[in-house]
Structure 1
Amino acid sequence: MGALDHLSNMFDCSSGNHKRHKQRKQMQTVEIKVKIDCEGCERKVRRSVEGMKGVTSVTIEPKQHKLTVVGYVEPQKVLSRVAYRTGKRVEFWPYVPYDVVAHPYAQGTYDKKAPAGYVRYDQDPSMNHFARANSTEVRYTTAFSDENTNACAIM
């Protein structure tokens, strides 16, 4: 916003009910998990979001139960519209490729329902699902040392 725009807004002599400029929504990609059983379900899901204002493209992958919407939309509005129009249980796409995750087969990450090559996304990386070794386990694992053969605790 330039200086002239700012000054013109300060000294606006028009009536008091002028509209503020709306900020334009950013281009976003919204991925949603929705159960798609047949071609009728696929058509219903596609039609639920194609009519939305700002939608640029709609991609459906029925085998993965994945809906991808690209456009100038708000993700929460897309999610609620699909749920309302189709009557299906929907959620944001919770999976990421297993290459991205440090421990893909950890307790909170691995999901049997995930498509091939994907694991559940762990939103909180600070929360560690691995149990820490207690002092008894540390003693047993350090009892033998390949580097220092004289450090054997048993012999």
Structure 2
Amino acid sequence: MKKLHYSIYTGSPLSALSHKLLTVFVVVLMGALDYFSNLCECRSLHESRQLHKLRKLKQLQTVEIKVKMDCEGCERQVRKSVEGMKGVTQVVIEPKLNKLTVVGYVEPKKVLHRVKHRTGKRPVMWPYVPYDEIPHPYAPGVYDRKAPPGYVRNPSQDPQVSNLARASSTEVKYTTAFSDDNPNACIIM
């Protein structure tokens, strides 16, 4: 697992989709391991009821947050701010993308508040998706120069962006009237 995290930091050719699939696999695997470890542990009746109540209320989920991290000290500060939270099972920091990924039985709003309160930084939910998942990744409002390489802004989070720019049928006719590919195919002549 360490080699995988190392390859993510150095920007190896892992595609964003394979990274996302791997993250989902890890979350599912961790949920299964938690379930089986709870079956094998010897706990008092009171402790097991409390744990069961906590797990019933909160689902295992992945929270992705964008936080500006300039140095290793910032990374350490952000990591320590969420590692102590109740219900957190894994913390992954990708400093080149300014991305914090928290896996566990936590609520996203509480994680955001905790990072903001403990670090003094301005965290936001991860606003980007891999550009392969969007039908028009370079449409106005979707393409973002500040986005990490291979990512574009998520149009489903912003209602103004979701109306992607598309050419109408008359605009298509005007642009194909004079074709550079075939000069004999001019509509006017």
- Relative to structure 1, is the Cα distance of residues 142 and 41 closer, same or farther in structure 2, using a 3 angstrom cutoff? closer
- Relative to structure 1, is the Cα distance of residues 134 and 101 closer, same or farther in structure 2, using a 3 angstrom cutoff? closer
- Relative to structure 1, is the Cα distance of residues 41 and 106 closer, same or farther in structure 2, using a 3 angstrom cutoff? same
> Are 2:105 and 1:58 aligned?
no
Other structure's SS at 1:85 match:
helix
The structure with the larger Rg is 1
In structure 1, how many angstroms separate the alpha carbons of the residues matched to 2:128 and 2:172?
A: 35
Q: For residue 101 of structure 1, what is the aligned residue in structure 2?
A: 134
In structure 2, how many angstroms separate the alpha carbons of the residues matched to 1:112 and 1:152?
A: 38
User: Where does the alignment leave 5 or more consecutive residues of structure 2 unmatched?
Assistant: 1-52
RMSD (Å) for aligned C-alpha atoms? 2.7
TM-score normalised by L of structure 2 = 0.60
Residue by residue over 1:12-62, the C-alpha shift from the partner in whole angstroms, topping out at 9 and shown as x without a partner, is: xxxxxxxxx664310000000000001110111011001100000111011
- Relative to structure 1, is the Cα distance of residues 138 and 38 closer, same or farther in structure 2, using a 3 angstrom cutoff? closer
In structure 2, how many angstroms separate the alpha carbons of the residues matched to 1:31 and 1:125?
A: 22
Say whether the 8 Å CA contact 2:91–2:101 is kept in structure 1. Answer: yes
In structure 2, how many angstroms separate the alpha carbons of the residues matched to 1:76 and 1:100?
A: 26
Identity of aligned residues (%): 67
User: Where does the alignment leave 5 or more consecutive residues of structure 1 unmatched?
Assistant: 1-20
Aligned residues: 131
In structure 2, how many angstroms separate the alpha carbons of the residues matched to 1:84 and 1:116?
A: 29
Supply the AA of the counterpart residue of 1:154: I
Say whether the 8 Å CA contact 2:142–2:161 is kept in structure 1. Answer: no
Supply the AA of the counterpart residue of 1:81: R
Task: Please list, as runs of the form range in 1=range in 2, the aligned pairs for 1:59-74 lying within 5 A after superposition.
Answer: 59-74=92-107
| Larger strand proportion of the pair | 1
> Are 2:63 and 1:24 aligned?
no
Query: How far 1:134 sits from its partner (Å)?
Result: 7.8
Q: For residue 37 of structure 2, what is the aligned residue in structure 1?
A: none
In structure 1, how many angstroms separate the alpha carbons of the residues matched to 2:104 and 2:168?
A: 48
Say whether the 8 Å CA contact 2:155–2:161 is kept in structure 1. Answer: no
Query: How far 1:108 sits from its partner (Å)?
Result: 1.0
TM-score normalised by L of structure 1 = 0.73
Q: For residue 133 of structure 1, what is the aligned residue in structure 2?
A: 168
In structure 1, how many angstroms separate the alpha carbons of the residues matched to 2:152 and 2:172?
A: 31
- Relative to structure 1, is the Cα distance of residues 96 and 131 closer, same or farther in structure 2, using a 3 angstrom cutoff? closer
> Are 2:80 and 1:80 aligned?
no
> Are 2:124 and 1:91 aligned?
yes
Residue by residue over 1:76-117, the C-alpha shift from the partner in whole angstroms, topping out at 9 and shown as x without a partner, is: 100111011100011000111111111111111111111111
